[in-house]
Amino acid sequence: MDNFTVGVVVFPGSNCDRDVSWALEGCLDIRTKYLWHESSDLNDVDAIVLPGGFSYGDYLRCGAIARFSPLINALDDFVKSGKRVLGICNGFQILTESGFLPGALTSNKNLNFICDDVELDIVSSKGGWFDNKNEKQTIKLPIAHGEGRYHCDSDTLKKLVDNELIALRYKSNPNGSSFDIAGITNEQGNVLGLMPHPERACDEVIGGTDGLFTLKSLIMK
């Protein structure tokens, strides 16, 4: 799609914004535009990525302060219009802090910062984020986080399971997440939050291409 543009949000402390832009433009030929978090104008972007990093230095809690930026405030209408939002790592934390996704992300069970490639089971293709044609049910993506443990109460977990909102589960849980959850969607399916980094799995020279399909999904309607 010639004019389709993905907005990549930049907060003070974001550090994976360039990775996302590189993956989308360099590997998928999808146009990107950086969006400074103080902007609330989302009119010329068709999908949004909240990249990984340490927005506001993770002060107070990861994503706690970023959620009050003008851009996040403007996201409500964007999401309601059905457009896609992808939150990766810190982006996922921001989506939970702002209430677009349920639950919370907190410190890893073993307290270590984990930097690894992990195998993930595709559990649901709600929203088409992982609805790949090859019928591949297990993918491998890098993770890089210290606060990636997904936590929710049992009522929320039941809702996630019943409504097929769990997108990805760890095959071998690295951080203690409830129900081995690595990624979830909202009920409409147009918002995905995940702790693994698909933008770091888009080229064989850096270890694999299992992240391509999810990023390509941003251009789906």
> Which secondary structure element, helix H or strand E, spans residue 70, and what is its range?
helix 70-80
> Length of the chain in residues, anyone?
221
146: helix, strand or coil: coil
By CB under 8 A, the residues from 58 to 117 that bind other proteins are 60-61, 64, 68, 96-97, 102-104, 106-111
> How many C-beta atoms surround the C-beta of residue 123 within 10 A?
22
Residue of 145, 147, 152, 199 with catalytic role? 199
Q: How far is the CB of 142 from other proteins (least distance, A)?
A: 22
Is the Cβ–Cβ distance between 97 and 59 less than 8 Å?
no
Q: How far is the CB of 103 from other proteins (least distance, A)?
A: 6
Ramachandran assignment for 21, one of left (phi > 0), alpha (psi -120 to 50 degrees), beta (any other)? alpha
| 5 vs 107, beta carbon nearer other proteins | 107
Residue of 16, 89, 152, 202 with catalytic role? 89
| 32 vs 69, beta carbon nearer other proteins | 69
Is the Cβ–Cβ distance between 215 and 203 less than 8 Å?
no
Q: Which stretch binds other proteins (CB under 8 A): 7-15, 47-55, 151-159, 182-190?
A: 151-159
| 33 vs 109, beta carbon nearer other proteins | 109
Residue of 37, 147, 197, 202 with catalytic role? 197
Is the Cβ–Cβ distance between 147 and 93 less than 8 Å?
yes
> Nearest-CA neighbor of 133 among 213, 207, 199?
213
How many chain residues touch other proteins (CB under 8 A)? 20
Q: How far is the CB of 109 from other proteins (least distance, A)?
A: 6
Token code pair at residue 213: 């399909």
| 28 vs 64, beta carbon nearer other proteins | 64
Q: How far apart are CA 61 and CA 106, in angstroms?
A: 8
| 4 vs 68, beta carbon nearer other proteins | 68
Among 12, 13, 128, 176, binds other proteins (CB under 8 A): 176
Q: How far is the CB of 205 from other proteins (least distance, A)?
A: 36
Based on the residue annotation, tell me whether 197 is a catalytic residue of this protein.
yes
199: helix, strand or coil: helix
Provide the b/e sequence for 16-48 (b: ≥16 CB within 10 Å).
bbebbbbbbeebbebbbeebebeeeebeebbbb
Catalytically active residues, by annotation? 89, 197, 199
What residue ranges bind other proteins (CB under 8 A)? 60-61, 64, 68, 96-97, 102-104, 106-111, 149, 151-153, 176
